[in-house]
Structure 1
Amino acid sequence: MALIAFLAANAPWAWIIAGLILLALELVVPGGYLLWLGIAGLITGLVVLFEPIAWPYQWLMFGVLALVTIVLWTRWSRNRPSQSDRPYLNRRADSFVGHEAVLEQPIAGGFGRLTLGDTIWRISGPDLPAGQRIRITGSEGAVLLVEAI
């Protein structure tokens, strides 16, 4: 009971210290969520420092701030385009879009094969004879979509 009375008497500093502890834990534990909980704790502590509020309302303020900051961060980070120095990593078929080639084998029944570099790709497009120039227009999984030039 003495600890609860001590925390109640020093509520602003308890929130500020709890926020700083959460921020320090963010350095150790990955994920990003402790950062926003720590910021919510610090803001709650600063508000309570200047305007004394009852404990239930302090917890309500902390909870609302934590939820709002986490939801805003999640929305912002999901809508942000990821930048990479290798944008086609694990999307090799997409890296061939726009390339032109000559068919070594005909496309029959809508499907054929095409050698690009060291890989033989399955291609899909209109029936075309061997020797026809084609352009790669897209991909569906590991199948390259082609059109005649």
Structure 2
Amino acid sequence: MEVIGFLAEYGPWSWIVAGLILLALELVVPGGYLLWTGIAGILTGFITLVQQPPWPLQWLIFGVLSLVSILTWVRFTRNRREESDRPLLNERTQQFVGQEAVLDQPITNGFGRVALGDTVWRVSGPDLPAGQRVRIVGADGNVLRVEPR
């Protein structure tokens, strides 16, 4: 009942202060949800500055504004794809597909090794001697699939 008394005493300013507190909490606990509830609190405060609805209606306004703003935010951000100038940045094995290399170790029993850049990679493919040129055609996890060139 203290919340009701606080709302009755300070009216619209309590909503505005609560909204600002929620916005400040968003800086500490990021995620987006406190941002939209904070904005809903501030809007509820401005609405109650113009017209003084009873406190249950104020809570209803706050709840509806919060739900609508959060659902709208989730809807627009869920399907948004961020464009990247380096789409294969964290997919190192996919970066090598199509490149050619020379086997450092022969492929025996289906596996061998090849040096690419500063890393030695495990490769799979048909048995081939060391020094053979190969083309990288795919990857299975961290193992590059190769075929003779």
Go from structure 1 to structure 2 and tell me whether the alpha carbon gap of 1:30 and 1:86 turns closer, same or farther (over 3 Å shift): farther
How far apart are residue 105 of structure 1 and its match? 3.7
In the other structure, the counterpart of 1:101 is 101
Go from structure 1 to structure 2 and tell me whether the alpha carbon gap of 1:70 and 1:144 turns closer, same or farther (over 3 Å shift): farther
Structure 1: which 5+ residue stretches go unaligned?
Answer: none
Is residue 2:66 matched to residue 1:66?
Answer: yes
Which residue type is aligned with residue 121 of structure 2?
W
> Aligned equivalents of 1:53 and 1:132: distance in 2?
81
In the other structure, the counterpart of 1:129 is 128
Go from structure 1 to structure 2 and tell me whether the alpha carbon gap of 1:92 and 1:56 turns closer, same or farther (over 3 Å shift): same
Which residue type is aligned with residue 136 of structure 1?
I
Question: The residue matched to 2:29 in structure 1 has which SS?
Answer: coil
How far apart are residue 88 of structure 1 and its match? 5.3
Higher strand fraction (1 or 2): 2
Question: Does the 8 Å contact 2:123/2:145 carry over to 1?
Answer: yes
Question: Does the 8 Å contact 2:109/2:127 carry over to 1?
Answer: no
Question: Does the 8 Å contact 1:40/1:66 carry over to 2?
Answer: yes
How far apart are residue 90 of structure 1 and its match? 5.0
> Aligned equivalents of 2:69 and 2:138: distance in 1?
39
**Aligned sequence identity (%):** 61
Question: Does the 8 Å contact 2:23/2:35 carry over to 1?
Answer: yes
> Aligned equivalents of 1:111 and 1:75: distance in 2?
47
In the other structure, the counterpart of 2:18 is 18
Is residue 2:41 matched to residue 1:41?
Answer: yes
Question: Does the 8 Å contact 1:122/1:144 carry over to 2?
Answer: yes
Question: The residue matched to 1:98 in structure 2 has which SS?
Answer: coil
Aligned length: 147
How far apart are residue 144 of structure 1 and its match? 1.5
How far apart are residue 41 of structure 1 and its match? 0.6
Question: Does the 8 Å contact 2:4/2:55 carry over to 1?
Answer: no
TM-score by structure 1 length? 0.70
> Aligned equivalents of 2:100 and 2:84: distance in 1?
26
Structure 2: which 5+ residue stretches go unaligned?
Answer: none
TM-score by structure 2 length? 0.70
